[in-house]
């Protein structure tokens, strides 16, 4: 998947994805689930006053080659009969994806944590590149074990990757 068209200098590291890739995959999956053609989606978007939408625009969104505005995102949610959080969920519409999400250089968040954030059960406090803290919100303590497990697993995998990288550099 290409880099986000609005962030051309940011490529997701191997094994991670940008939110634009998540959105592209989920829009495509929602359209297919509703058995809609790209032409039908474009026509419905035009009915909601998104006059520049065409089959090519839908295809570009589904490939991650076209950024969309907030207004377009909300309209797509209606056109695709899919809740907005589902379009943004890194787990995907079927819950099958676990790749971490890259938000910027050195700032990658486990998919399970982003899922809880999208659902409104966690807030993510950005501290500095590569440093953030997820906070479980009041009333949602039942997700704390999921968040802690995801963070522990991600930390373990990141440490393994750093170790492999250091070994390759020594060779």
Instruction: List beta partners, residue 142.
Output: none
- Long-range contact pairs involving 69-73 (C-beta distance under 8 Å, separation at least 24): 72/45, 73/23
Contact 27, 109 (CB under 8 A): no
**pLDDT at residue 1, rounded to an integer:** 47
Mean pLDDT over 67-85 rounds to: 96
**pLDDT at residue 76, rounded to an integer:** 97
Q: State how beta strands 101-104 and 107-109 pair.
A: antiparallel
Tell me the average pLDDT of the chain.
Answer: 91
**pLDDT at residue 8, rounded to an integer:** 63
**pLDDT at residue 158, rounded to an integer:** 80
Stretch(es) of the chain classified as CATH 1.10.260.40 = 19-88
**C-alpha triplet 65, 107, 21: angle, nearest 5°:** 20
Which residues lie closer than 8 Å to 62 by C-beta, 6 or more apart? 24, 27, 28, 31, 38
Which of 7-11, 101-105, 154-158 has the least mean pLDDT? 7-11
| Strands of 4-161, DSSP E | 101-104, 107-109, 122-128, 131-136
Mean pLDDT over 136-158 rounds to: 93
Contact 153, 144 (CB under 8 A): no
Q: Residue 46 pLDDT > 80, yes or no?
A: yes
What percentage of the chain has pLDDT greater than the value 90?
A: 71
Contact 37, 45 (CB under 8 A): no
pTM: 0.86
Q: Does domain 19-88 have CATH number 1.10.3720.10?
A: no
With bands split at pLDDT 50, 70 and 90, how would you rate the model's confidence at 166? Answer: confident
With bands split at pLDDT 50, 70 and 90, how would you rate the model's confidence at 137? Answer: very high
């Amino acid at each position: 998947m290409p880099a986000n068209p609005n962030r051309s200098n940011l490529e997701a590291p191997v094994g991670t994805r940008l939110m634009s890739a998540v959105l592209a995959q989920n829009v495509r999956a929602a359209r297919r689930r509703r058995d809609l053609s790209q032409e039908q989606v474009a026509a419905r978007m035009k009915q909601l006053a998104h006059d520049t939408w065409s089959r090519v625009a839908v295809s570009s969104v589904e490939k991650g080659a076209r950024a969309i505005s907030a207004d377009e995102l909300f309209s797509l949610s209606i056109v695709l009969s899919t809740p907005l959080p589902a379009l943004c969920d890194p787990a995907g519409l079927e819950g099958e994806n676990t790749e971490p999400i890259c938000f910027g250089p050195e700032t990658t968040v486990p998919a399970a944590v982003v899922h809880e954030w999208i659902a409104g059960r966690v807030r993510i406090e950005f501290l500095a590149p590569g440093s953030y803290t997820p906070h479980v919100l009041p009333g949602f303590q039942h997700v704390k074990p999921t968040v802690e497990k995801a963070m522990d697993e991600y930390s373990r995998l990141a440490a393994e990757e750093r170790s492999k990288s250091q070994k390759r550099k020594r060779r």
